[in-house]
Chain A
Amino acid sequence: QVQLQESGPGLVKPSETLSLTCIVTGDSISSTNYYWAWIRQAPGKGLDWIGSINYSGTTYYNPSLQSRVTISVDMSKKQFSLRLSSVTAADTAIYYCARSTGAFDNWGQGTLVTVSS
């Protein structure tokens, strides 16, 4: 059974870079069957797809965030990462990592990231 676990700072200052990591256990992150994704949810709001990456490093990003987002994968460590630059209070959200076959069939528990000075 695949499990995903997000980790990273819970507080980031405005204008700085948010960095999160998702560790994948119970499944091969190098599988050709899946993409690995980041999704966020602002407090009391809906779901917002940030981007996805596959085993070969092919990435797709939300156009609204594309200029600030980088998603990378490290298969040796069985993890993938999110970097979001120049953050503002609007980036305050629960950040989820998930496995994707198009639909997101497995999710991490999420980590709250607050942008504040």
Chain B
Amino acid sequence: DIVMTQSPDSLAVSLGERATINCKSSQSVLYSPNNKNYLSWYQQKPGQPPKLLIYWASTRESGVPDRFSGSGSGTDFTLTISSLQAEDVAVYYCQQYYLTQITFGQGTRLEIK
């Protein structure tokens, strides 16, 4: 299995400031033949299912605000919220789909400072 480790476990950021969440995989999720990283990011608000934000490590899902961006390659990835809004309070998860045995990170709780 590929173990996904997020950091930090929780994060408090002021409104309008940048929020950065990291995700590290125990092995590379970059598939060299197509140069794609099999990594996605989700946002989960209380009482709701997760919502896909980013796939292929950096491709924003349709309808997701452009303040959300994903970066990284291989084993190290980052989700950045460029200017935190009140509605961004949530738990964020990364997920690898490089292997058929899919795994998620443990989640990062994002709050307003």
Partner of A108, one of B38, B49, B97, B106: B49
Instruction: Using A63-B1, A108-B49 as known contacts, say yes or no to A103 and B104 having CB atoms under 8 A apart.
Output: no
Q: Which residues of B contact A110 (CB under 8 A)?
A: 49
- The verdict on A96 contacting chain B, using a C-beta distance below 8 Å, is yes
Taken together as a complex, chains A and B put the C-alpha atoms of A62 and B1 apart, in Å, by 9
Asked whether, in the complex, the Cβ of B49 is within 8 Å of the Cβ of A46, the reply is: no
Whether the pair A96, B49 counts as a contact (CB closer than 8 A) is yes
Residue of A nearest to B56 (CB): A103
Asked whether any CB of chain B lies closer than 8 Å to the CB of A52, the reply is yes
Interface centre among A52, A100, A104, A105 (most CB of B within 10 A): A104
Tell me the count of chain A residues lying within 8 A, CB to CB, of chain B.
21
Contacts A102-B55, A108-B49 given; indicate if A47 touches B61 (C-beta within 8 A): no
A4-19 CB mask vs B (1 if < 8 Å, else 0) is 0000000000000000
Contact of B101 among A37, A60, A101, A104 (CB under 8 A): A60
Q: Which residues of B contact A105 (CB under 8 A)?
A: 52, 55, 61
In this complex, what residue of A is CB-closest to B97? A102
Interface string of B41-84 (1 = CB under 8 A from A): 01000001111100100000100000000000000000000000
Shortest beta-carbon distance, A49 to chain B, in Å? 4
Which residues of the other chain, A, contact B49 by a CB distance below 8 angstroms?
96, 98, 107-110
B37 to chain A, nearest CB (A): 11
A7 and B113 CA atoms in complex are apart in Å by 39
Residues of chain A within 8 A of B93, CB atoms compared: 46-47
Q: Which of B51, B55, B104, B107 contacts A49, CB < 8 Å?
A: B104
B7 within 8 A of A: no
Tell me which residues across on chain B come within 8 A of A63, comparing CB atoms: 1, 101
Interface residues of B in 76-113 (CB under 8 A from A): 93, 95, 97, 100-107
Minimum CB–CB distance from B24 to chain A (whole Å) comes to 16
- Please determine whether B107 and A103 come into contact, CB atoms closer than 8 angstroms: no
Q: Which residue of B lies closest to A47 (CB)?
A: B104
Most A Cβ at <10 Å: residue of B38, B52, B103? B52
Residues of chain A whose beta carbon lies under 8 Å from any beta carbon of chain B: 37, 46-49, 52, 60, 62-63, 96, 98, 100-105, 107-110
